[in-house]
Structure 1
Amino acid sequence: MSPMLNRRTLIAALAATSALPALPAFAADGDKVSLLELAVPGPIPDISIGKPDAPVKVYEYASMTCPHCARFDKEVFPAIKQKYIDTGKVQWTMREFPLDPRATAGFMLARCIANNDATKYYTVLDVLFAQQDNWAFVDDAKQVLPGLFAIAKQSGFTQEQFQACLKDQALYAGVNAVKDRGEKVFNIDGTPTFFINGVRKSGEISLDEFSQTADPFLKS
């Protein structure tokens, strides 16, 4: 069970834990898991982009403080979105796998700002990844929350809304429950980890590597 969250305990956790690099991935690439099992709803709703009836379903497990996830988001994901998501071939779902309290706070903020608007959610994720140096990798833990608030403020959030978001116990527990299920059910041990129609791909992948896995499902 997740511990009760309040602003004081979150600040203490942020101070005690620096942003961590991605965990090493040990499970074998190419392992196949059930799409039905992947699609099981969690305590917080999935936020997906792409056609719900797209022939390829992708689940990405990432951490907001993972530099590999950020590089994939900047350098590879836009091409995948243009070629596959925007053309109705892929539905993409980001799932939370926070490696540290800073990543948990980042995911919570993204969900609060988006308020279930998928386009806004993925835009906020892009900003959080792009600005990791301003909040995820700062040496002084006291600068984590100001860095996150600067992003929230750009989205129109007030200080009160920002604080309320990070005090949301149900959201905090939900984000951690997504990670816990990923570990226990799918043996996720590193970020990013992708499931492309159930086929596991661990670590950063290129557009070509993604295509090699996704394209056969589009030809059948």
Structure 2
Amino acid sequence: MNRRQILKGLPAVAVLPPMLGGLIRPAAAQDVALREGDRVLGESEAPVTIIEYSSLTCPHCARFHREILPQVKSEWIEEGRAKLAYRHFPLDGLALRAAMVANAMPTDRAFFAFIEVLFETQAQWSQAQDPLEALARHAQLAGLSQERFNAAVEDEPGMNAVLEGFVEARDEFGVNSTPTFFANGEKVQGVGDYESFAQVLDAA
């Protein structure tokens, strides 16, 4: 399947609203695991591995990053109990381009700082009259030059790699909504609050 066909299919992917208590389902595949190239937050030896599939234009993903992830960081990641790998699952062309800009960040620390800014300001840049210009301003504040920004949003091999990851997640791991998490292989959708997510992490 080529990039154009995948992009046409992006709007068909559901955005799952938060559900009380969260919904845990068996992992679609047992080999959902960290791999080379993953952007990871936390210590490598942490016993719980959280893999997140999110779209930078998804409001429910933004809510998770604003309201739930800070406590996950303080009580799990910073305590060495868990690590989080972020994988792009873009729901539209703008999310794909934002993913490319995030991927241009030189370190994991810079990557996570940048996506947190994008989630915090999602309503402003994603609904701007010129979203790419608004995205470029955020990138420049993060230290990315206009030249590197342009190269990122035009990086066709990079876009193809992100979309291949999208297809893998959809077809092999059963990801059909955002955000979707795997906690040591257990698939989690519809995280409504920190307490329900912490229960999943405790079980993992």
Is the counterpart of residue 63 in structure 1 residue 63 in structure 2? no
Aligned residue number for residue 129 of structure 1: 119
SS of residue in 1 equivalent to 2:23: coil
Deviations 1:48-73 (A, max 9, x none): 11121211111111100000110110
TM-score after normalising by structure 2: 0.87
Is the counterpart of residue 53 in structure 1 residue 45 in structure 2? yes
SS of residue in 1 equivalent to 2:86: strand
SS of residue in 1 equivalent to 2:102: helix
| Aligned counterparts of 1:213 and 1:147: Cα–Cα separation in 2 | 36
Given the alignment, which residue of 136, 157, 171 partners 1:170?
A: 157
| Aligned counterparts of 1:82 and 1:20: Cα–Cα separation in 2 | 35
SS of residue in 1 equivalent to 2:31: helix
Question: Quick one: which amino acid aligns to residue 27 of structure 2?
Answer: V
| Aligned counterparts of 1:174 and 1:46: Cα–Cα separation in 2 | 12
Deviations 1:153-201 (A, max 9, x none): 1122222211111111121111111111110011111101111111121
Question: Quick one: which amino acid aligns to residue 31 of structure 1?
Answer: R
Aligned residue number for residue 99 of structure 2: 107
SS of residue in 1 equivalent to 2:176: coil
SS of residue in 2 equivalent to 1:92: strand
Is the counterpart of residue 30 in structure 1 residue 24 in structure 2? yes
SS of residue in 2 equivalent to 1:174: helix
Conserved 8 A contact 1:62-1:94: yes
Conserved 8 A contact 1:21-1:67: no
Question: Quick one: which amino acid aligns to residue 80 of structure 1?
Answer: V
Conserved 8 A contact 1:21-1:66: no
Given the alignment, which residue of 128, 147, 150 partners 1:160?
A: 147
Is the counterpart of residue 151 in structure 1 residue 145 in structure 2? no
SS of residue in 1 equivalent to 2:79: coil
Is the counterpart of residue 93 in structure 1 residue 62 in structure 2? no
| Pair 1:129–1:38, CA change in 2 (3 A) | same
Q: List aligned pairs for 1:6-17, cutoff 5 A.
A: none
Q: CA RMSD in A?
A: 2.5
Per the TM alignment, residue 20 of structure 1 is displaced from its structure 2 partner at its CA by: 9.8
SS of residue in 2 equivalent to 1:33: coil
Identity of paired residues, percent? Answer: 30
Conserved 8 A contact 1:20-1:66: no
Per the TM alignment, residue 109 of structure 1 is displaced from its structure 2 partner at its CA by: 0.5
Conserved 8 A contact 2:98-2:135: yes
TM-score after normalising by structure 1: 0.81
Given the alignment, which residue of 190, 194, 198 partners 1:211?
A: 198
Question: Quick one: which amino acid aligns to residue 2 of structure 2?
Answer: S
Question: Quick one: which amino acid aligns to residue 203 of structure 1?
Answer: G
Give the total of aligned pairs: 196
Conserved 8 A contact 1:60-1:195: yes
Could you list the structure 1 runs, at least 4 aligned residues long, displaced by more than 4 angstroms after superposition: 19-22
| Aligned counterparts of 1:30 and 1:59: Cα–Cα separation in 2 | 14
| Aligned counterparts of 1:149 and 1:22: Cα–Cα separation in 2 | 28
Question: Quick one: which amino acid aligns to residue 120 of structure 1?
Answer: A
Conserved 8 A contact 1:61-1:192: yes
Conserved 8 A contact 2:16-2:60: no
Question: Quick one: which amino acid aligns to residue 201 of structure 1?
Answer: V
SS of residue in 1 equivalent to 2:187: strand
